[in-house]
Structures are given as structure tokens and as C-alpha cells.
Amino acid sequence: MTILDDARAVIAEGPVCDACVGRAFAERSFGLSNAERGRALRVTVALDADESVDEFELDGECWVCEGECARFETWAERCIGALSEVDLATYQVGTRVPPLIEANDRLLRESAGFPEDAGESFKSELNREVGKRVGERTGTAVDFERPDVLCLLNLEREDVDVQINPAFVYGRYRKLERGLPQTEWPCRVCGGSGKQLAVAADGEDGDGEDDGSTDGGANDGTERSAAEEPCEHCGGSGYLYEASVEELTVPPVVEAMDGAAGVFHGAGREDVDARMLGTGRPFVIEVKEPRRRAIDTEELEAEIEDFAGGRVAVEGLGRATHEMVERVKELDASKTYRMTVEFAEPVVEEALADALAALDGATIAQRTPGRVDHRRADRVRTREVYRADGELDDPRHATIEVDGAGGLYVKELVSGDADRTAPSLAGQLGVDATVTALDVLAVEGEEPFADPAYLHGT
């Protein structure tokens, strides 16, 4: 059969609109819309038959698309209206197609003797034609991987759902005070609820009234009732610490981007009692449903520092890609530490120098430290010390700096952790040693975290 024979077969299944005719031949020729392709076929069939084209025109509403192919403009306007208060650079259009239209699309091909997958689907055409109009009128680009927004056309409901995908802000933070965790730390006793059960004896609760309830676990004959009261462990806050780096940085970013919520992603984390100084620690803040994406980074850095009240500072802010989250969390990074160390007995300068020389460049075997073995698997890890040096402040105190591989437990490198870490500073000296203050000075990846490929506008 020729293409004219195929076109006659499709048109004969009428009433079928030009777009639905052309869609069955979408793989033929280039630079034409399906409506233009269908129109050309309809006219050619009329010419070949030497009859008026009116004999082959659509008579009534197209039974395949139920008139939707004539409403591309309407759907585009609905999308643009739904996006009127959303900042975007990229978009994608999707469609929830009613089952009947999908069935009609298949039935047309079947009735005309075409393969089921011939041409293009109705859904694909609608997405493309509406998307093309949205892009032209908003000056934005289509992105089939991770668009800023997805417009989802609901044909049965006659409306558009807008899915706003997250935005990401990269930077480095410095934690300027101790006792501040990186992220929220829910109370382990109340599970973050801030509540605990209070048991009142003799069937009385807080108002002194007997409510008749009993605790099935009581076995002393005393009636009991349970009521809630603030958790004693956390004071009713639900958290072990009243603030965190997350809580001091995320809200200004969410507000600047008019988002719904934010999630903090850090390149590892320092101990709660450690400061993060020097060049800072890389992080990404993921902003959910941002209605603004453009940010003034200098202004935002100042707003964060003001909001944090001098407890946290940030620098190097910039819009990042989704892939930056994985990069920050997974890229191998070395750390530089500065520690104040206290010795149980006086130490001389020469002994300290020899002990540090033994650690410089050493491979350290560390069994999971006792302070974290309740939440980490108990196993032996090996980590490298790239550099170790320092000097005595007095015979019982020293300032030590260590460059080490990611995952090196530096407090245990000093103390030995009851021989769970070897070699250690304490072991080399033969004197108990304890870190009394810890600062992280640098977190540097095996390649730069701020690779331009993971940042917008660079």
C-alpha cells in the first residue's frame, strides 16, 4: 500500500481531525506539525480522487482526541497562568490522558490496519505542542531530565497541576561556637515529641477527678492513670540542643527563595563540641517548592549571618545542581584539625616531637570508638595521617595540628581510646592524653567541591 492508501484508510475512519490524521504518519517527513501533515494528506487524497476537498473534511468533533487537538493554545494559556508567580528557567509539560482517548488513539490505528505504535501518541503530541507554546511565551527552555517546574495537564478536570522541583544552594559554613550540632538533634527519650507520660496514683489525674481509668500493668492494687507532661530529659523542647547549624542557616535561604521547606546536606559533620573554622565545611541547602530561584548571594550571606547571631557564618554561596547534593555527601575529603591536648603527666618537647614524627604519614588502625559504638558497627578501620605536628604550651598542655583522611577519629588518635586506636599520641608518649578543645580548619575534597559543572551560572 502507498501512503495515499494509508491516508485514505485513516480519513475513512472519520470524523478525524488533521492532527490525529497526521499523528499516524508522524515519522514521515520533517519540519511539519501533525496538523500540517494531516492537512497535506487530506488535500492530496482529494486531489488524487479529483474531488472537492470538502468531501474529505472533518464533519463534527474528532472522535479520537475529542477536540483536544484544537485546544493547544487553551492549555498553554492555563500553564502560563499557573506559572505566573513562579520563577523558572526550565520546564516540562506532562499530561494525564483520559483512558478513552488513549483507547481511541489505539483503535484508529487498528481500524486503519496500522501497527499499534505507528506514528506518535496523542500524549506525546499534546505535551510537545503545549510545551512549545509555553516555552515561546515564557522565554524558558524545555528540560526532560530535571526541569524547574512540571506542568501536569488534567484533561478530565480541565486544570493544570504545577510541580515545583527543588532548588539547591551550595556554600561553606563556619561554626563559630562549641556545643552546636550540625543538624536538629531530637531527644532520644521522648523521640522529639517533648512529652513523657506521667502516672498519677489512686485514679487521680491532673485535675484531681477520678476518671475511672486503670493501668493494666499495675499489680499492687493501686489504680493508675496516664497523662502527658513535658519531657524531663529535653525540658519539653523535643530536642537535645536549642539550635543547630541547620536551624541557623536554612530559614533565611527558604525565605529568600519563597520555598515551602528546606533540607540541609553537609560534607560530613564535626563533633558537637568542635568548632568549624578556617575555610569552612561544604554544604548544600535543598529548598522545596521555591517560587523564586534567583538569589543575591552576598545579600543572602549577610542575612544568614545576621539570623545566626554570630554563631555561624557562610561564604561562597551559589545556585547548584541536584547532583551537588551527592557530590557534597560522597566526595572523599581530607580534614585539617587543630587540638588543644592535656597530658596526665609532664611531657618534654623532644618526646612530643618524636611522638608526632611517628604519627606523621602513619596508617592508623581504629576500632569503632567507645563513644560512638552504640550507633556505629563495631569494626576496625584504617585511615591515613598525612601530617602531624605541634608544640608544647607548657609541660602538661600542647597544641597539635593533624591533616588526615576522611573518617579519621582524631580524638582517639590522641588518646588511644583504651588501645582501640594504634598508633596514638598517648601510646607513643606513654602518657595519657586527652583532647580538651577541637577545631576543624579545612575540609578539602580529592577534587574541588565547587566544580563549575555542578553550579549554575559558572
What share of the chain in percent tops pLDDT 90?
78
What CATH architecture is 3-164?
2-Layer Sandwich (3.30)
Do 3-164 and 167-182+244-330 come out as alike in CATH topology?
no
- Positions annotated as catalytic residues are 271
For residue 220, pLDDT beyond 90: no
Q: What is the CATH number of domain 167-182+244-330?
A: 3.30.70.2510
Instruction: Report pLDDT digits (tens) over 171-191.
Output: 999 999 999 999 987 888 888
- Tell whether the model's pLDDT for residue 374 goes beyond 80: no
Mean pLDDT over 297-304 rounds to: 96
* pLDDT (tens digit per residue) in 314-331: 999 999 999 999 999 999
Place of cell 475513512: 12
DSSP 242: S
- Residues 335 and 85: their CA atoms lie apart, in Å, by 43
The set of residues, in sequence order, having a beta carbon less than 8 Å from that of 35 and lying 6+ positions away, is: 17, 18, 19, 22, 69
* CA 18 to chain CA mean position, Å: 44
Query: How does pLDDT run across 47-78, given as a tens digit for each residue?
Result: 988 888 888 888 889 999 999 999 999 999 99
Mutual angle of helices 99-111 and 122-138, in 10-degree steps: 120
**Tell me: the pLDDT tens digits for 78-129?**
999 999 999 999 999 999 999 999 999 999 999 999 998 899 999 999 999 9
pLDDT tens-digit readout, 123-167: 999 999 999 999 999 999 999 999 999 999 999 999 999 999 999
Range with the lowest mean pLDDT among 192-206, 260-274, 428-442? 192-206
- Rounded CA-CA distance 134/355 in Å is 68
Cβ(92)–Cβ(142) below 8 Å = yes
pLDDT digits (tens, 9 = 90+) for 412-454: 999 999 999 999 999 999 999 999 999 999 999 989 999 999 9
Residue 199 pLDDT level (bands cut at 50, 70, 90): low
Reported as a pLDDT band with limits 50, 70 and 90, residue 226 is low
Residue 267 to residue 285: CA distance in whole angstroms: 12
The pLDDT value given to residue 230: 87
195 pLDDT band, cuts 50/70/90, is confident
What is the CB-side half-sphere exposure of residue 186 using CA atoms within 13 A? 8
pLDDT for position 206: 35
Q: Are 398 and 343 in contact (CB under 8 A)?
A: yes
The predicted pLDDT at position 227 comes to: 77
Q: What is the chain's mean pLDDT, rounded?
A: 90
Report how far residue 15's alpha carbon sits from residue 193's, in angstroms, rounded to the nearest whole number: 63
pLDDT tops 90 at residue 363: yes
The DSSP bridge partners found for residue 420 are: none
Distances (CA, A) of 99 to 13, 65, 106, 113: 20, 11, 11, 21
So what's the pLDDT on residue 214?
36
CB neighbour list of residue 299: distance below 8 Å, 6 or more residues apart: none
**Average pLDDT estimate for 377-382:** 91
Give the model's confidence band at 267: pLDDT under 50 very low, under 70 low, under 90 confident, else very high. very high
A 10 A CB-CB count for 365 gives 13
CA–CA separation, 159 vs 77, rounded Å?
11
Q: Lowest mean pLDDT: which of 6-15, 148-157, 194-203? A: 194-203
Please determine, for residue 375, whether its predicted confidence score (pLDDT) is greater than 80.
no
Give the Cβ contact number of residue 317 at 10 Å.
21
Please check the confidence at residue 198 and state whether its pLDDT lies above 80.
no
C-alpha cell at 64: 479520537
Mean predicted confidence (pLDDT) in 279-284: 97
C-alpha–C-alpha distance, residues 240 and 234, integer Å: 6
Whole-model pTM? 0.84
Q: Which CATH class, in words, describes the domain spanning 333-445?
A: alpha beta
3-state helix, strand, coil in the chain (%, to 5): 30, 30, 40
pLDDT at 201: 47
Per-domain boundaries in the chain: 3-164, 167-182+244-330, 333-445
SS3 124: helix
The beta strand positions in 100-209, using DSSP E, are 141-142, 149-154, 159-164, 167-175, 195-201
